[in-house]
């Protein structure tokens, strides 16, 4: 497997100093550029890859704030653009929306063209999937994440997926972007809820890999109005921790840190009918799975209390909305559709100790009652 490099080096690029990191997928290298107030450079950056035409994919919120701006910046380089959008929301992360994008690209995008995803994790997943399928992987793909969740998680790595009627991420592809372009200034227009949503992934990494970073995250201002320096620190550190996990595991298949809290988190998110954000559901998943780890004799009660107090301080929801026995049955039934399921059932990635990567424990060794009890604790 190709080497993953995490090099927070300083490089002069397009006339400006910025942090540049790199990761590799199957021998293909992705550059990750992180800085403040660099969006006007995006056209020049894309032009350096010499695409004939560019399809910009965004959602209707981001179209107004950044989509049109990016289109102008690319057109200024003499590159013709087609700007496509879809409604925001997790319900749009579906095959039908991806197929609609593909149909709209036909007749415009040539084999030497490119796709630029501009938006949150939903836009990146749908656009990356479409870019991969169109003309069988010929198009160049570029990612411009505009949410914290996308900047330090969804854009980092090669995975792109959409949801099915039964579960999250049932169908997808690996298609790494040529570059990920993070302008943290764009993150300053996010609501407090969306900043908190993204911070949960930072907390996930911090809990398993870096307790000093956890302290830093907990000391952030309670209104979550974050400065340029704070955003740069959070994005850089979270990406470094994610790249550390991807070393030797670029497919992110069964990576215990990356999937911490996600087995129940994805179920809780899906069965909330997406009234919870991914991060909110994940925080409930991490809580519930900490209780499960404790029941299995893996995690101390002190560490479980610490996990709960971290999320209480962050202000993420402490209860599954509309919890009922019927909902719990759906969650347990839903484990059948988890995309990491094997003959041993669905894996849970459970902490043994805070600050240390979790370990996989398969469903076949866990009773249904234990899972139900954990869900009850967060209801
Ligand atoms: N592929 C992966 O590896 C991966 C990793 C992490 C998360 N994800 C997925 O990402 C999705 C969540 O991503 P998300 O949290 O970015 O959600 P999202 O894409 O829905 O964005 C959240 C909201 O913020 C708005 N928005 C985007 N940028 C904005 C800005 N700069 N200012 C103001 N509003 C803005 C969007 O229009 C949307 O309403 C989930 O589907 C999750 O499963 C995928
Ligand atoms: Zn996640």
Regarding the beta carbon of 280 and ligand 1, being less than 6 Å apart is answered no
Q: Which two tokens stand for residue 260?
A: 């911490």
Strand locations in 192-308, DSSP E? none
pLDDT for the residue numbered 32: 98
Instruction: Indicate the helix (H) or strand (E) that contains 328.
Output: helix 325-334
Which residue's alpha carbon is nearest to atom 21 within ligand 1? Answer: 120
- Per residue in 32-56, pLDDT tens? 999 999 999 999 999 999 999 999 9
Fold of the domain spanning 196-225+253-377 = Dehydroquinate synthase-like, alpha domain (1.20.1090)
Which residue's alpha carbon is nearest to atom 23 within ligand 1? Answer: 120
- Per residue in 202-227, pLDDT tens? 999 999 999 999 999 999 999 999 99
Q: 13: helix, coil or strand? A: strand
pLDDT surpasses 70 at 4:
no
User: How many CB atoms are closer than 10 A to CB 11?
Assistant: 12
Q: Which of 23, 37, 61, 191 to mutate to test the pocket of ligand 1 (most atoms within 8 A of CB)?
A: 61
pLDDT for the residue numbered 2: 37
Q: 273: helix, coil or strand? A: coil
Q: How confident is the model at residue 248 (pLDDT cuts 50, 70, 90)?
A: confident
Which residue's alpha carbon is nearest to atom 41 within ligand 1? Answer: 122
Domain boundaries along the sequence of the chain: 9-187, 196-225+253-377
Residues 6+ away with beta carbon under 8 Å from 154: 120, 121, 124, 125, 145
- Per residue in 80-89, pLDDT tens? 999 999 999 9
Fold of the domain spanning 9-187 = Rossmann fold (3.40.50)
Which residue's alpha carbon is nearest to atom 30 within ligand 1? Answer: 190
Of the candidates 128, 219, 218, 222, the one whose C-alpha atom is nearest the C-alpha of residue 171 is: 128
Residue pair 104/79 in contact (Cβ under 8 Å)? The answer is no
Of the candidates 31, 14, 12, 93, the one whose C-alpha atom is nearest the C-alpha of residue 243 is: 31
pLDDT for the residue numbered 6: 42
Distance 246 CA to ligand 2 centre (A): 14
Task: List the beta bridge partners of residue 85.
Answer: 58
Distance 126 CA to ligand 2 centre (A): 16
- Per residue in 135-171, pLDDT tens? 999 999 999 999 999 999 999 999 999 999 999 999 9
pLDDT for the residue numbered 8: 41
């Amino acid at each position: 497997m190709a080497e993953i490099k995490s090099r927070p080096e300083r490089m002069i690029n397009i006339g400006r100093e910025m942090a540049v990191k790199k990761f590799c997928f199957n021998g293909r290298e992705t550059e990750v550029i992180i800085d403040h107030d660099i969006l006007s450079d995006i056209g020049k950056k894309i032009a350096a890859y010499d695409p004939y035409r560019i399809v910009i994919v965004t959602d209707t919120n981001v179209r107004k704030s950044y989509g049109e701006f990016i289109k102008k910046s690319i057109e200024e380089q003499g590159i013709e653009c087609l700007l496509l959008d879809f409604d925001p929301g997790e319900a749009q992360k579906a095959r039908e929306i991806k197929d609609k994008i593909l149909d709209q690209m036909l007749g415009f995008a040539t084999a030497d063209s490119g796709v630029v995803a501009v938006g949150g994790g939903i836009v990146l997943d749908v656009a990356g999937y479409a870019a991969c399928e169109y003309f069988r992987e010929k198009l160049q793909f570029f990612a411009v994440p505009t949410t914290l969740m996308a900047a330090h998680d969804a854009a980092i790595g090669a995975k792109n997926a959409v949801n099915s009627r039964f579960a999250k991420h049932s169908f997808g592809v690996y298609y790494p972007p040529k570059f990920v372009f993070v302008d943290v200034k764009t993150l300053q227009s996010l609501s407090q809820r969306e900043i908190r949503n993204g911070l949960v992934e930072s907390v996930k990494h911090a809990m398993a890999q870096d307790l000093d970073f956890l302290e830093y995250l907990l000391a952030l201002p309670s209104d979550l109005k974050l400065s340029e320096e704070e955003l740069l620190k959070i994005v850089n550190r979270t990406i470094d921790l994610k790249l550390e996990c991807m070393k030797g595991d670029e497919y992110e298949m069964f990576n215990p840190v990356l999937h911490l809290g996600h087995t129940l988190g994805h179920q809780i998110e899906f069965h909330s009918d997406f009234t919870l954000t991914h991060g909110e559901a994940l925080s409930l998943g991490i809580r519930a799975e900490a209780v499960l780890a404790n029941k299995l004799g893996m995690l101390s009660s002190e560490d479980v209390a610490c996990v709960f107090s971290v999320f209480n301080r962050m202000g993420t929801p402490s209860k599954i909305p509309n919890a009922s026995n019927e909902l719990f049955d759906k969650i347990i039934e839903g484990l059948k559709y988890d995309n990491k399921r094997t003959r041993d059932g669905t894996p849970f990635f459970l902490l043994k100790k805070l600050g240390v990567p979790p370990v996989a424990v398969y469903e076949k060794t866990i009773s249904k009652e234990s899972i139900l009890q954990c869900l009850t604790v967060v209801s």
